[in-house]
């Protein structure tokens, strides 16, 4: 999925090096220019550190310009298709391209209030968030003071840069930006992993209907063949896993009441650390179930 | 809540005895007339047995007339307000007065198909059912043969009579028509009953949005002061209990992630025996929960 | 079980009042004498409060004499049968009459060390303890200073007096000295209370083999007909409940592996509050079980 | 650990091939001789199949001699040190070298009764068993008829041969003779894997004190670095895992009662399939725990 290897970057001349990395920091090719001297980079993390150091060493004015170069979230530029490719793809991930009118109004109101108070755009690493958690952090951050928000904006810019680098450059040295969401279904009626259980993962929202983001069926070990989410941050937010427990036990020949005591079993939970490891198992019989944050 | 005591009934003359019990069997005062001779009744169950015996001993024609005297569920008579008071109240209980157009059409279609196939109205003790389970048994019973349906209709008429008697007459000797739904919240983070947990009980439906049917807050023992449903059948159907677990732990000073791993915790379950004892506890920490059919 | 009613005591003359209550405070009939004036007592708690007040108001010398009038635990007086009836019965309860030589030596060593350091006997309300927890508090209290131990001794004397009063005098107004230990067995394989499960309660000890202190079989509700311990303090200590889970499932016709995954299931737990309510349920299938401190 | 590779065996001449495999079937080098022709073997399983086929194709007399060549379990030959190296090592594994006098008498009695009834020695693959399960199958098999026992003896001989081959010869193609016992400790008080929990695995016996067979401490993922048992059959029998839960929570700074509600937590379970995968996790807080057969 990455566009270029670290090796190729290490062998590039300055011009193509900078072209490739021009938007790792939004509209700030100078971060790449200044990091170029530190070649070769042993790891992607080292490359990120060099660009990060360049930003930290830049003048206040350059950093202010960097902050202000960011577009509004779900703002006019996004509607008009005038974002960098990187921003467009990020805003898509978080679903900012499919806002209800009510949500669009909320974003508009929050963008305006934020710019009025701080004179900078609201910056957040949207790949780490759901729409709900973006709005929640928007509201929380509006209460801060200007110095704190400037620091937060720079920290978020750095997270964005790290994620952009990781998807752009293939190479050793993970930046440890991945989270993980997985499940496991154990049948303690029959004493074995539950095979063939249909599972649906849904993102919940205070303002919208649930959105299905993954479907899977458990394998011979009671797990899904791949984690439900892996290789990227798990967006901070509220989720529901729904397990077709009634159908599973029927398929195993277990006699159930009508309707069964347990049929579709939802487990609702929140993700707070986008880089965390969330294992959410279901241990069940036709008459009981339990879950816990596992590992 | 009952209108009359068994004692008063035992001391009534035939005319007021029959008047009082005229619609225990729908439009069939003769069931009361024929049971009158067996006075006095030691228990409400004995009174029910006497009326039941009268129906069993009636001629085929009388029993057919009794069956046909029942109104359609959610039918024209209900819309026109032309039901007995008993039927009106029962159809209200199951929510048959607030059908969506789609549901109304479903009932109309099923009533018509049933009458066409069996030449009798579809009879079911609606106090034991939700709309969903009425439609489910409608569909199931449409597949039976005429003899089985006539027997089922008479059995349902008898259940209806028993429930009408129990709500009409106060006296010893429960007919054991009550079910029970209760819960209990245990906090295994702090090792004590969870006090002050807000709970909502919702009836789920395949066709409609969930309907809140009870709210409660747990007391010092982690229970609700009264069972969520008691003193009547628990309508067969699908339910969800929602517990405000996040708010509870916050109020106990437990530090939670943001959003919390567990916030609103739903337990979804089905009721198959309207007269059953369903105890559905929640055993929880900020990071785990379990439930089971308890007692 | 009580010897006398509060009513009778309220109607007694001073001499028989004092005779009856002479050893509520060990060898200190003066506590009863001085409380006599406060008659009548509405509750046993009020009687206890009056005697307690008399002790608090006594001179330092009287209180010292009261403390010193207590026998050593498991000491020579106990071996020689020279204790008050009350002390004898209490020391029996905690099993101080059946010490191994090793335990006898431990008590002897601790008694000697305690008397040497504090010049008073070691006083503890043995009805609230197991042998292990007596030795543990002995060791802990040996580290305190003299003032703290004098205060602790008087507090323990008061607890002893309260328990003696409660077993001596029948009347309103519980002193709330009772603890409770109970269990409940739920079968989540079949979805019902587990009936007919044999249960054994054993007291564990660091120095001795486990001692069976109760046996029971679960009833139709999955509970024991009476709590395992009630109407008295639950001695502080370490316990094990053993459930015959394998036999239960065999008797229900459930096919088990050989040997079964679960056969005799022990739940091991500690009691820290002698007046606490300890509910220790077992929720089980042939392949899983769980327990928690319930209510 | 293996003495020779499959490759070396495939390249051996007949004489050294037979010498190496002479006791795979006890005192029956002819099984190796007759399998030699089928060289080369792609897998150890194929080699086993060839030797197994030779035994199946042997005459009744040869098979009887093979059966009778086996020593008594814990018999005179074992005491006198007159067993094959293979038998000696196997009887050691199951602890048959450290019998109490009572156990020795039991074995003697059972050996005698078995030989009297069937005129053959009792043969069982002791690596798949504990002493208790050997005695249990001894007692069970004594009830069978001669034909069934002859078939069982040959089947056990084959299991013994497979296990001997697997430990003797390194090569592709597992015979799938391994079982596995593992655990995992989850802390649902703090919502993370429980690190640093001391664990002890003990083999239980009806006749003897428990025997510690493994100790471990959980790692950062709440697991032990290696499975408790792997790479060999898990002996059929009764076990107890003991977890130092109280010490763990104390080390995490959690305030516990004194004594703690949970301190040393035993999980007792039976192993019925020596080649099974037994995962026995502990999910716990200071006030609750659960386990189940996981995967």
- The answer to whether the Cβ–Cβ distance between A261 and B272 falls below 8 Å is yes
C286 min Cα distance to partner chain A (Å): 7
Query: What confidence score (pLDDT) does residue C201 get?
Result: 98
| Closest Cβ opposite residue A191 in set C188, C190, C286 | C286
Same domain flag for D145 and D216? no
Average pLDDT over residues A192-196: 97
Out of A184-188, C77-81, C192-196, C291-295, which region has the weakest mean confidence (pLDDT)? C77-81
- The nearest alpha carbon in chain A to C257 belongs to A191
**Reported confidence tier of residue B131, pLDDT bands at 50, 70, 90:** very high
Same domain flag for B157 and B62? yes
Touching A: which chains, 3+ CB pairs < 8 A? B, C, D
Chain C residues whose beta carbon lies within 8 Å of the beta carbon of residue D263: 238, 268, 270
Task: Respond yes or no on whether the N-terminal peptide bond of residue B40 is cis (omega within 30° of 0).
Answer: yes
Chain A residues whose beta carbon lies within 8 Å of the beta carbon of residue D192: 293, 295
> Could you read off the pLDDT of B32-71 as tens digits, one per residue?
999 999 999 999 999 999 999 999 999 999 999 999 999 8
Question: Of the candidates C92, C94, C89, C83, which has an alpha carbon nearest to the alpha carbon of residue C121?
Answer: C83
Same domain flag for B76 and B166? yes
Query: How many Å separate Cα C96 from the centre of its chain?
Result: 13
- The answer to whether the Cβ–Cβ distance between A257 and B264 falls below 8 Å is no
> Could you read off the pLDDT of B278-294 as tens digits, one per residue?
999 999 999 999 999 99
* pLDDT at B156 > cutoff 60: yes
D54 min Cα distance to partner chain A (Å): 36
Same domain flag for C93 and C14? yes
- Give a yes or no: residue A89 inside a domain: yes
Same domain flag for D212 and D66? no
Query: What confidence score (pLDDT) does residue A204 get?
Result: 96
Chain B residues whose beta carbon lies within 8 Å of the beta carbon of residue D286: 191
* pLDDT at C151 > cutoff 70: yes
> Could you read off the pLDDT of A256-279 as tens digits, one per residue?
999 999 999 999 999 999 999 999
**Reported confidence tier of residue D110, pLDDT bands at 50, 70, 90:** very high
Chain C residues whose beta carbon lies within 8 Å of the beta carbon of residue A191: 261, 285-287
Q: Which two tokens stand for residue A16?
A: 């193509």
Query: What confidence score (pLDDT) does residue C81 get?
Result: 79
Compute the residue count for chain C: 295
Assess contact for C83 and C71: CB atoms under 8 A: yes
Cα dihedral value A105, A94, A158, A171, nearest 10? -160
Task: Respond yes or no on whether the N-terminal peptide bond of residue C281 is cis (omega within 30° of 0).
Answer: no
- Give a yes or no: residue B295 inside a domain: no
Question: Of the candidates D170, D203, D194, which has an alpha carbon nearest to the alpha carbon of residue D286?
Answer: D194
Which of B170, B201, B230 is where one domain is finished? Answer: B170
Measured between alpha carbons, how far is D7 from D172 in angstroms, rounded to an integer? 10
- The answer to whether the Cβ–Cβ distance between C292 and D291 falls below 8 Å is no
Residue identified by tokens 């009952």 is B2
Query: What confidence score (pLDDT) does residue D176 get?
Result: 79
- The answer to whether the Cβ–Cβ distance between C283 and B292 falls below 8 Å is yes
**Reported confidence tier of residue A1, pLDDT bands at 50, 70, 90:** low
* pLDDT at B1 > cutoff 70: no
- The answer to whether the Cβ–Cβ distance between C268 and D264 falls below 8 Å is yes
Assess contact for A36 and A29: CB atoms under 8 A: no
Q: How many domains does chain B divide into?
A: 2
- Give a yes or no: residue D49 inside a domain: yes
- Give a yes or no: residue B271 inside a domain: yes
| Closest Cβ opposite residue D222 in set A191, A192, A295 | A295
Share of chain C above pLDDT 90, in %: 81
* pLDDT at A84 > cutoff 90: no
Q: Is the minimum CB–CB distance between D289 and chain C shorter than 8 Å?
A: yes
Which range of residues forms the domain containing residue C47? 4-170
DSSP for D238-271, please give it: EEEEEEEHHHHHHHTT----SS-SSSEEEEEEEE
- Give a yes or no: residue C117 inside a domain: yes
Chain B residues whose beta carbon lies within 8 Å of the beta carbon of residue C185: none
Q: Is the minimum CB–CB distance between B182 and chain A shorter than 8 Å?
A: no
Which of C147, C170, C193 is where one domain is finished? Answer: C170
Measured between alpha carbons, how far is C20 from C165 in angstroms, rounded to an integer? 10
Look up the pTM and report it. 0.93
Touching B: which chains, 3+ CB pairs < 8 A? A, C, D
**Reported confidence tier of residue C266, pLDDT bands at 50, 70, 90:** very high
Same domain flag for C198 and C243? yes
Residue of A52 and C167 predicted with greater confidence: A52
Mean pLDDT for chain D overall = 93
| Closest Cβ opposite residue D292 in set A188, A221, A293 | A188
- Number of Cα atoms under 13 Å in the Cβ half of residue B119: 4
Assess contact for B163 and B23: CB atoms under 8 A: no
Same domain flag for A73 and A90? yes
Out of A86-100, A124-138, B187-201, D264-278, which region has the weakest mean confidence (pLDDT)? A86-100
Same domain flag for D136 and D201? no
Query: What confidence score (pLDDT) does residue C103 get?
Result: 87
Query: What confidence score (pLDDT) does residue A92 get?
Result: 83
Q: Which two tokens stand for residue C286?
A: 């042939």
**Reported confidence tier of residue D151, pLDDT bands at 50, 70, 90:** very high
Helix, strand or coil, per DSSP, at residue D283 = strand
The B residues from 70 to 89 touching C (CB cutoff 8 Å) are none
Q: What is the CATH number of the domain that holds A194?
A: 2.60.40.180
Average pLDDT over residues D168-178: 81
Assess contact for D75 and D114: CB atoms under 8 A: no
- Give a yes or no: residue C295 inside a domain: no
Q: Is the minimum CB–CB distance between D193 and chain A shorter than 8 Å?
A: yes
Kindly provide the ipTM of the predicted complex, given to two decimals: 0.93
Touching D: which chains, 3+ CB pairs < 8 A? A, B, C
Query: What confidence score (pLDDT) does residue C1 get?
Result: 52
- Give a yes or no: residue D185 inside a domain: yes
Same domain flag for C133 and C205? no
Average pLDDT over residues C55-84: 89
Residue of C116 and C100 predicted with greater confidence: C116
Chain A residues whose beta carbon lies within 8 Å of the beta carbon of residue D290: 283, 290
C80 min Cα distance to partner chain D (Å): 33
Query: What confidence score (pLDDT) does residue B11 get?
Result: 95
Measured between alpha carbons, how far is residue A202 from residues A212, A219, A266 in Å? 4, 20, 10
Chain D residues whose beta carbon lies within 8 Å of the beta carbon of residue C288: 290-293
Same domain flag for D162 and D201? no
* pLDDT at A83 > cutoff 90: no
Which of D151, D170, D189 is where one domain is finished? Answer: D170
Assess contact for A6 and A43: CB atoms under 8 A: yes
* pLDDT at D103 > cutoff 90: no
Question: Of the candidates B164, B143, B141, which has an alpha carbon nearest to the alpha carbon of residue B153?
Answer: B141
DSSP for D31-95, please give it: HHHHHGGGPPPSSHHHHHHHHHHHHHHS-HHHHHHHHHTSPPTT-HHHHHT-S-HHHHHHHHHTT
Same domain flag for A77 and A144? yes
Assess contact for C94 and C126: CB atoms under 8 A: yes
Non-local (6+) Cβ contacts of B292 within 8 A are A287, A288, A289, B281, C186, C188, C283
**Reported confidence tier of residue B89, pLDDT bands at 50, 70, 90:** confident
Chain B residues whose beta carbon lies within 8 Å of the beta carbon of residue D283: 288
Same domain flag for B79 and B52? yes
Q: What is the CATH number of the domain that holds A63?
A: 1.10.3330.10
Q: Is the minimum CB–CB distance between B291 and chain A shorter than 8 Å?
A: yes
The D residues from 228 to 267 touching B (CB cutoff 8 Å) are 261
């Amino acid at each position: 999925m990455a566009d270029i290897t670290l090796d190729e970057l290490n062998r590039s001349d300055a011009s193509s090096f900078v072209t490739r990395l021009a938007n790792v920091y939004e509209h700030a090719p100078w971060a790449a220019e200044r990091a170029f001297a530190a070649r070769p980079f042993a790891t992607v993390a080292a490359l990120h550190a060099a660009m990060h150091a360049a930003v930290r060493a830049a003048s206040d004015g350059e950093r202010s310009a960097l902050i202000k170069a960011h577009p509004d979230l779900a703002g006019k530029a996004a509607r008009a298709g005038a974002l960098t490719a990187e921003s467009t793809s990020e805003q898509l991930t978080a679903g900012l391209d499919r806002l209800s009118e009510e949500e669009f109004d909320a974003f508009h109101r929050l963008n305006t209030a934020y710019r009025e108070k701080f004179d900078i755009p609201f910056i957040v690493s949207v790949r780490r968030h759901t729409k709900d958690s973006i709005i929640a952090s928007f509201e929380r951050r509006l209460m801060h003071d200007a110095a704190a928000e400037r620091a937060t904006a720079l920290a978020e810019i750095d997270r964005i840069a790290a994620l952009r680098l990781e998807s752009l450059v293939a190479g050793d040295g993970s930046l440890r930006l991945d989270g993980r969401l997985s499940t496991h279904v154990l049948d303690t009626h029959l004493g074995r992993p539950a095979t063939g259980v249909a599972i649906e993962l849904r993102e919940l929202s205070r303002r919208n209907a649930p959105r299905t983001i993954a479907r899977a069926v458990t394998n011979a070990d009671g797990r899904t063949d791949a984690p439900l989410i892996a290789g990227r941050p798990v967006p901070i937010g509220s989720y529901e896993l729904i397990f077709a427990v009634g159908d599973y036990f029927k398929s195993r020949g277990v006699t159930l009441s009508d309707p069964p005591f347990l049929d579709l079993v939802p487990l609702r939970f929140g993700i707070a650390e986008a880089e965390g490891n969330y294992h959410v198992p279901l241990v069940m019989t036709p008459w009981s179930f339990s879950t816990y944050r596992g590992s």
